[in-house]
Structure formats: C-alpha cells, structure tokens
Amino acid sequence: MEPMYRDEELITIPYAALIYDEIEEYEEVIADLTGEIEKNSNNYVAYNNRGLALAEIGRIEEALSDFTKAIECSPTGPMPYRNRGNIWENRNQAEGAIEDYTSAIALQPDEATLWRIRAFLFRKVGNYVAAIADL
C-alpha cells in the first residue's frame, strides 16, 4: 500500500508542529487526531502524530502502539520507525531501537542522522565494528 503522505510532507499537514514541540495542548491534539483516525483508519500520519503527542504526556505504551499502527498502515514511511526507535532508545532498549533505526535507514539511506544514532546504539551494546561502519 502506498503511503497517504510522504514523510517530507508531514510538516505541511495539521499537527505536524508536534515534531517541533510547538503545540502544548496535547489532549486536544490527541482528541482531534483520534477523530481523524476514526474517519480513516489507515491514516498513518494521524497515528504517527498522535503517538508523538502521547509520548509528550508520558503515555508511552499508547505511543508505541500508535507508531506500530502507523508502520502497519505504511511500512514504507521512515518517520514512525524513527519515532518508535527513539522511544526504545529512551527506555534503554537498544536492540529494539537498532531494529527500528535499521528499518528507517533502509527507507531513507541518505539521512545521516539515522546512521549516527544507530552507530551510537551499536556502541552502547558493544558492537564497535558495526558502530564504526555506520560512521
């Protein structure tokens, strides 16, 4: 299934400001995005952005669920992998983070930031050869 939006288009749709922490009324955003999901249950952007809002208010399990659903709706969009990987990283679950960053890199191989983050994670788990290869 083709994604509804390309990741570079995420900043042009409602609530993309979440990425930049410009919206602080997270409960309202979550309610609005839930409404969008009810209208179109395959809207990976709505799942991704709701996941960001949920993570901001500490509802991490729900955020993980939304990022996973976004990936199921659009496995070719790297942003939900990156966001879920970030949660794994913050939870000190490097293996899960490495897996998600690897998926994001496969979809967006020119994104140097992804390679650097994965290198850091490889170093964290003691895989120095892989860490050096990513740099």
pLDDT digits (tens, 9 = 90+) for 62-113: 999 999 999 999 999 999 999 999 999 999 999 999 999 999 999 999 999 9
Is there a contact between 80 and 71 (Cβ–Cβ < 8 Å)?
yes
pLDDT at 22 over 70: no
Q: Mean pLDDT for the chain?
A: 87
pLDDT for the residue 3: 46
Specify the number of domains making up the chain.
Answer: 1
Q: What is the DSSP letter of 91?
A: T
Q: Is 66 helix (H, G, I), strand (E, B) or coil?
A: helix
pLDDT for the residue 15: 54
Is there a contact between 10 and 48 (Cβ–Cβ < 8 Å)?
yes
Residues 23-34 have pLDDT tens digits of 677 888 888 889
Domain-located, residue 106: no
Q: Is 111 helix (H, G, I), strand (E, B) or coil?
A: coil
Domain-located, residue 18: yes
Domain-located, residue 122: no
Rounded-to-integer distance, Cα 84 and Cα 81, Å = 5
Residues 104-117 have pLDDT tens digits of 999 999 999 999 99
Domain hosting 32: range is: 1-76
pLDDT for the residue 36: 86
Domain-located, residue 51: yes
Domain-located, residue 128: no
CATH code of the domain covering residue 53: 1.25.40
